[in-house]
A = this chain, B = another copy of it.
Amino acid sequence: MYDSKPSTHWIIEWQSPYSASMFGIKRILFSGRTKYQEVIVAELREYGISLILDGKIQSSERDEFIYHEMLVHPALVTHPNPERVLLIGGGEGATLREILKHNTVKEVVMVDIDEEVVDICKKYLESFHRGSFNDPRAKLIIGDGREFLKREEGGWDVIVLDVTDPIEEGPSKLLYTKEFYEIANSKLKEDGILVTQSTSLTQNMDTFATIFRTLGKVFPIVRATSAFVPAYTADWSFTIASKEHDPQVVRSEEAERRVNERGIGDLKYYDPSFHPYYFHLPKFVREYINKSDKIALDKAPAFIY
């Protein structure tokens, strides 16, 4: 005997015409279209307040800490002294929140293309940004991240790419190409690090592998990690491209020391004692990366459905 009929109100996230995940909705806080994308802020029955852009769940109250910790800390802990950080995307303010936990950071510039999304997040996702937008070290610029990067002076320690997936009709597909990574590379300091969300490791293995290989054409060191994010129903990947510092050679003790010295106290997923082991990929994924030499170019970007 069951207490409940199935839900009436749903988000269905399509991974393809043959695959989807269904999420029951408790209530909708916002639904509409900005200049760039479809936006829904929903309280999901099993995930709490969640942001959905162009049909893809971006983050949920229940598990956003997994995504945001694993996007930020493996990269920033790999850098011995991250002071100037550029964040492209990140409308929820939660990536900003994690970056600001590192007290070495003196300046974070966040460039997001969609002012309406940022305003919606400020209004509805207080538990995500937790006032980060008001930190004096943070500066928000509304604009196209690639255009911004092309024109500005550079000198970044870390560039964090917290942008939507490369879907054909969305605004982010040119933030995953070789040309873009070359621009980013030229704006990083000589020991700079770039980190990007890079789709699901195994559900979008072809796209992940293309991003990984494309970064490998531009940067000498490329490492990836993944974490299961329940609201994505997938093992999400994060790829670090680095000029000098190899994430895998930062030992457990060193990672713990950096986390402690930088005053980072409240971690729920990332564990510095496991730092060098996060970059182990399953055998079949390593083999897949090596099987092809496809890379993403402006004229032929990588896509997911």
Contacts and interface: CB of A to CB of B under 8 A. Distances in A.
Interface of A: 1-14, 16-28, 31-32, 38, 40, 44-46, 52, 55, 63, 65-66, 201-203, 226-228, 230, 233-235, 267-271, 274, 277, 280, 282-284, 287, 305
B12 A6 contact: yes
B28 A23 contact: no
A202 B233 CA distance: 11
Which residue, of A1, A6, A284, has the highest number of chain B Cβ atoms within 10 A?
Answer: A6
Which residue, of A10, A40, A234, has the highest number of chain B Cβ atoms within 10 A?
Answer: A10
Given A21-B22, A55-B8, A268-B284, A46 B16 contact: yes
A44 B31 CA distance: 12
B6 A14 contact: yes
A5 B19 contact: no
Contacts of A45: 16, 18-19
Contacts of A226: 228
B235 A233 contact: no
B8 A52 contact: yes
Nearest to A13: B8
Contact of A11 (B9, B32, B269, B274): B9
Nearest to A201: B228
Contact of A12 (B7, B27, B40, B233): B7
A17 B40 contact: no
A14 B45 CA distance: 14
B19 A22 contact: yes
27 contacts: A2-B5, A5-B55, A5-B305, A6-B6, A6-B12, A7-B17, A8-B11, A8-B12, A8-B55, A9-B12, A12-B22, A18-B46, A21-B21, A25-B31, A27-B32, A28-B31, A65-B284, A201-B228, A226-B228, A230-B234, A233-B233, A268-B287, A270-B283, A271-B283, A274-B280, A277-B277, A277-B280
Contacts of A14: 5-6, 8
